[in-house]
Structure 1
């Protein structure tokens, strides 16, 4: 079992784009509850099944398994909601890797940066393009976004 420790932030401006590498991601959820979620992800010709569970603080249990692409496509059809589609930009800043997700489709306009940490109180340098921290706001989890629009926006 792996433990994921990450912090999430809304992104402001465009400075993060300089030097970023990008890859498209499509992901769906078989289920999601406050305690556990099951995600299918397609990226760069690979597919994974990921289970995430709750822990206290910033840490979450994470189990990730490679699966055949055909299985991922079949599982994606079992999702109650259309998949999330986003562009993941990998940005290195002050020696740390940031994953900046630029959402498309019904979540267009939402940009979230994540940093994975070795421990919950790890100190890191904040890039100027970081906005409000949303680590503890469950509405910004992909497992919540798939069932809703962008938090704070009214449905059209």
Structure 2
């Protein structure tokens, strides 16, 4: 039977080959299902901006139904729905602004003292146990001469400084 491709957006599977997958991924049903999926994660502010830029759907206002449903390019929200959405956006912004970051006890001076102590102890321990680190290539690599320059180890003293060149 061969390999099968399962589309999570559309909840269906089909034979996996280039033609079938390309046809499915560019299909109207897949694009709609994908849009619906990503719309689930949009925040209220983005929805509000989009809905405010749309004109009301005349068919939806008259009958309460629209043949295009979520694919309609006009808004299906009433003025009450828009007011609720504005209130929700306002509440989200207030809650986001009121979130406080917990600051640990103490002051900046205390933190700087601790940092200086840690730094000095790290420097003293590194000077005591500082022996030159010998670079080794991973096992199985080709000889150094066959490696491109980007994979070669730097020379012992480091790369020489290049003269500064102005471009442009």
TM over 0.5: no
Q: Which has the larger radius of gyration?
A: 2
Q: What is the TM-score when the length of structure 2 is the normalising length?
A: 0.20
Q: RCO greater where, 1 or 2, for CA within 8 Å and sep 6 or more? A: 1
Q: What is the TM-score when the length of structure 1 is the normalising length?
A: 0.21
Greater helix share, structure number = 2
